[in-house]
Structure formats: C-alpha cells, structure tokens
Chains A and B, each alone.
Chain A
Amino acid sequence: MTQISTDDVRYLATLSSLQLEDEEVEALRTDIERILDYVAQLGELDTSGVEPTYQVTDLENVWREDIVNTYGVDREALLALSADIDTKQIKVPKVL
C-alpha cells in the first residue's frame, strides 16, 4: 500500500503550481493514494528487455519549410486574450 502524506500532497501541489485550499488537501491525499494503490499492479509484470512505447503513429521527424506562418492570427488578437495588457505587452506581478 502506497502511503501518501498531506506533506506529499502539498509538495505535489507545488510541483504542479496549484495553490490548494486547506480543505482540498485531505480529499486529494485519499484519492491519490487509492489511484497509486490501483496502478501498483503494474509492478507484478516482468518487463525486462521490453522497449517502452511513447507514441503509436510510427511517424518520424515530420519537417516543414522554415518560414514564418502566423496561422492567420495577428498579435493584437492574441494579446487581447490576456487579462492584463499594456501597450503590446502582458503585465504580470513582479518576478524578481
């Protein structure tokens, strides 16, 4: 049985950029523990010598010409999606 503590949950939240409310932590702890417990069955299998599968298309290195394509979207339309813009820039809280 995989044991997950509330500190583990808070650490995972930090890794995931989620600022959880206190009351969310315990429910997530139980759920994550249950799911990890379920997927632990994968450990029963001997996979030595087996290659992992990361994709199923068999496509490799799909190239295109190195030319700019805006896909029909202009800068203003993209900037307009942001909640806080100022003269063609997106504003954020102080970083440093």
Chain B
Amino acid sequence: MAGLSSYLHTPARENVERALSQAKEHEAFHALLHLSEEKALSRADLIDSQEKKGRLAGVPFIVKDNFLTIGEPTTAASEMLASFQAPVMATAVEKLEAEGAICIGKANLDAFAHGGSTENSAFGPTKNAVDQTRVAGGSSGGSAVSVALDIVPFALGTDTGGSIRQPASFNGVVGVKPTYGAVSRYGVVAMASSTDVIGVLSNTVETSELVLDIMAGRDAKDMTTLPDFFEPLSESAPRKIGVIKEFMTSDVDSEVRQKTQDYIDALRGRGHTVEEVSLPMSKYALAVYYVVVPAEVSSNLGRYDGIRYGLRASDATSIASLYGLSRDRGFMPENKRRIMLGSYVLSSGFFDAYYLQAQKVRTLLINEFNALFASYDVLIGPVVPTPAFKLGENTDNPIHMYLSDVMTVPASLAGLPALSVPAGTTDSGLPVGVQLIGQRQSDALLLALAKEGEA
C-alpha cells in the first residue's frame, strides 16, 4: 500500500488516473456507486498547475454517498434520493478539497446508513475486500473496501453506532470515529443526531490523523461542533489502559479474542500498564441504542415527504397518499423498521417506558465510563464479536444483525472517540480489528497509541 508521502510526491493526474483504474478493476466488489472521472481529472490538472500546495495536494479520496457533493448524485444508497443532486457541499469535503485532496467518487452504504453489512443498499451489497462471499460490514462498507483494495489512501464515512469501526475491522483498515462534535456534519444526510459522527477510514493511522486535523473544528453551519481541540501528538507516553472485561467473554469469537490479547500483550511490551476493568452497563447499551436511534431516525427521516426533493409518487391522488406512497417506495425495509419503531417508542403511553428509560440508562453508562477514565487513559477491546459474516447470513432477523454493534454502540452513546485498528487475521485470513476508546477530546492520544503499534 502506498503511504501518503508517495501520493504527495506524485503528480495529481497520475494519482487520480491510478485511483480511477483501480476502481474500475475492482468493480466486482461494488464498493462505489459513482465515479466522478472528468471532474477529478480536471481538478488534478488544476492542482498540478498550482504553485502553492495544500497538505493533501493531489491525494485522491472517496466519500460515503451520504455526504452532499455538487456535480454528482448524492443517493444515500436509497431509491428516495436516487436522482438527487445536492445544491450544497458538505463542510468536511470542502475543507479537504481546500487542502488539495481530490474526491474521485461516492461509496456504497446501507440506505440512509441503517445497517451493519451494506446489504441494505438499494443498489446491491458491497463485497468484503478479502472474501467476496462475505459482507463488507457497514454502514460505511463501500468506504472501507475502497481503502482495503488500495483504490484510495483514505475515505470518509459516518459512524452512528459503529458504521466506521465495524467495516474497518471487517476489511483490515484503520477506522476513526472522532469525539462527537469534532467534525462538522453540515451537508451530511442525518440519521441519529445525538450520535452521528463523521470520520475517516484509511490505510495508515498517520493518514487518518492528518485528515482529522484538517476536518476538525467549529463550523457556523453546524451548531453542534466543538471548538477545534485536535492537536496531533508527536510522541506517545506510557499509558494506563483498561481491558473491558465484558467485551472478552465467550460470546466473542475465540480468534477475535486471541488477536485482541496479542495486541494487549504488545502494548504491555511497549511499557504501557494494562489492567482488566468492568463496564457492567455495556450489557444494556445495545438496547439503549435501538430505542434512542430509531426515535431520532423517525424524526430525521420525516423530512422525506416527496414534495421538496427526492422521490415523488406520481400516481398519488391526495396529499396523504403522496407522503405515504413516496415514503413506502423510497425507503428500504430496514429504514421502515426503524422509522416505525421510533414512532412506537415516542408515542404517548410508551414514551416513559422506552425512550425516557433508555436515555436514563444512557446516563448510567456514561457515569461508568467517566469513573473508568478517572483512572485509565484508554479502554480496549474487540470491535465486533466476529470476523466478517457471510452475505445473507444475518438478513432474516434484525436482532442478529444488530448484535454485531454490541461493542461499538457504547462509545457512540457517550460521544467518545474510538478507533478500529487492524490486529491481524484469523487462520482463514479474515481481518480482525481492535478497538481503542478514549475520553472525550482524547482523539490525538488514541491515534498516537495506535501509530506506535503500527511501527
């Protein structure tokens, strides 16, 4: 895999031509929904002609197709937005392009980012980068596979409950979910506003670090952004690290546990202190997540009314049937499940028992994290209980699919930064990732620790 410096020392046109030809060569994986060939090449020529070079001058990248970009469709992998052409650009993409990076295309995802396998895409699933009979993971599956196949050195994704970390783990790439509020979400299709985060998938930790450094910071267009706190750390110090006991039980695949243990042993070997810790509330995190997130989804997806933009049922005879038919045809089954579940947990009579109770348990989970971070710098565990599963294996029961998120949702609910770092492969060659979780705004520390392990 080419490191970032080799891209920076190669003409932009050469980088883009290589990325485009790699993308075409790997079409069978269905990682991409759109290639912006002409636009990318003309931007490359522009950058090659400029004297002043940005920090990512001429570096090609891909964005998940829920980032709004001007000049090509933004579909969120849904029928609803199949022909939607965004009138605005996502702040994250704008910032990267201002540093000379070149967006060459849009990656596949589970429609509206609802899912953990990219099988919920309205345009067909993405295949795993190392085994085409297995899932890419999701929802940022196309982004992860694009990086794993070395089409581009980095891709943008979104992570609401594990959607960057899980596919990163399944395909053997680095996945970074920053602190909630670190990166502007302006121009990104909203899913669950209290946990949605924009992040990076990359071939090296260093690349993610630079991309995050460029993207982070307050944006007047997104009132939930934090003032820029991100400052890469040049050296790593001895840290106190806690292994989350509940993530290392026999429910987790033995090879996944072994790879995690190997990574932990290496941390010890480098002089870090590692101890076992307990996060009892993590047991309830998935249940909290599948109440809170559908509630927020049902609200955020209310905007797709078939009127102002998106799919409109042409045979509707009343305003109610215009909404009802457009939404029924524009959404995938998983979108409908979450919207209706959200309507259920928010409806009067059920609100206290489900939504309010879940938000209270969320407080208990956050309290447990805070108590651990009083004594530990970083928490560690696997990312997903298993390596990538087979295509179709979990599609008949949503609970089986949701269980893949069990170790990624806790950090999401608490707004904590979390990384998925490659930790080798199983005996049959499937990638396994290790998860590093830090306290809010400790993103730089996590990246420094991960970088040290990469060397």
Contact = CB atoms under 8 A, between A and B. Distances in A.
Given A21-B328, A51-B360, A54-B194, A90 B340 contact: no
Contacts of B361: 42, 45, 47
Contact of A38 (B180, B323, B344, B399): B399
Interface in A53-96: 53-57, 59, 62, 64, 71-73, 77-78, 81-84, 90, 92-95
A53 B320 CA distance: 35
A93 to B, nearest CB: 5
Contacts of A18: 324, 327-328, 331, 336, 339-340
A36 B302 CA distance: 22
A20 B366 CA distance: 38
Given A13-B340, A20-B328, A81-B87, A92 B291 contact: no
B333 interface: yes
A32 B363 contact: no
Contacts, number: 169
Nearest to A27: B333
B39 interface: no
Contacts of B340: 9, 12-13, 15-16, 18, 28, 32
A35 B366 CA distance: 23
Contacts of A12: 340, 343-344
Contacts of B308: 78, 81-82, 90
Nearest to A13: B340
Contacts of B339: 16, 18
A36 B359 CA distance: 16
Most B-side CB within 10 Å, residue of A15, A16, A59, A73: A16
Interface in B282-296: 284, 286-288, 290-291
A90 B353 CA distance: 41
Contact of A56 (B314, B321, B366): B366
A27 B398 CA distance: 11
Contacts of A81: 84-85, 87, 308-309
B363 A52 contact: yes
A64 B415 contact: no
Interface string B324-368: 110110010100110111111001000001101111111110100
B337 A19 contact: no
A36 B224 contact: no
Interface in B121-163: none
B298 interface: yes
Given A19-B321, A47-B361, A77-B87, A38 B290 contact: yes
Contact of A59 (B224, B309, B358): B224
Contacts of A24: 328, 333, 336
Task: For the complex of A and B, list the 10 residue pairs with the smallest distance between their C-beta atoms, beginning with the closest.
Answer: A19-B324, A56-B415, A52-B359, A81-B309, A83-B312, A47-B360, A62-B223, A17-B323, A12-B340, A15-B343
Interface of A: 9, 12-13, 15-21, 24, 27-28, 31-32, 34-36, 38-39, 41-43, 45, 47, 50-57, 59, 62, 64, 71-73, 77-78, 81-84, 90, 92-95
23 contacts: A13-B324, A16-B298, A17-B327, A19-B325, A28-B337, A31-B337, A36-B341, A36-B344, A38-B402, A39-B354, A39-B358, A41-B284, A41-B287, A42-B284, A42-B354, A45-B357, A47-B361, A47-B364, A51-B360, A53-B363, A78-B87, A81-B308, A95-B319
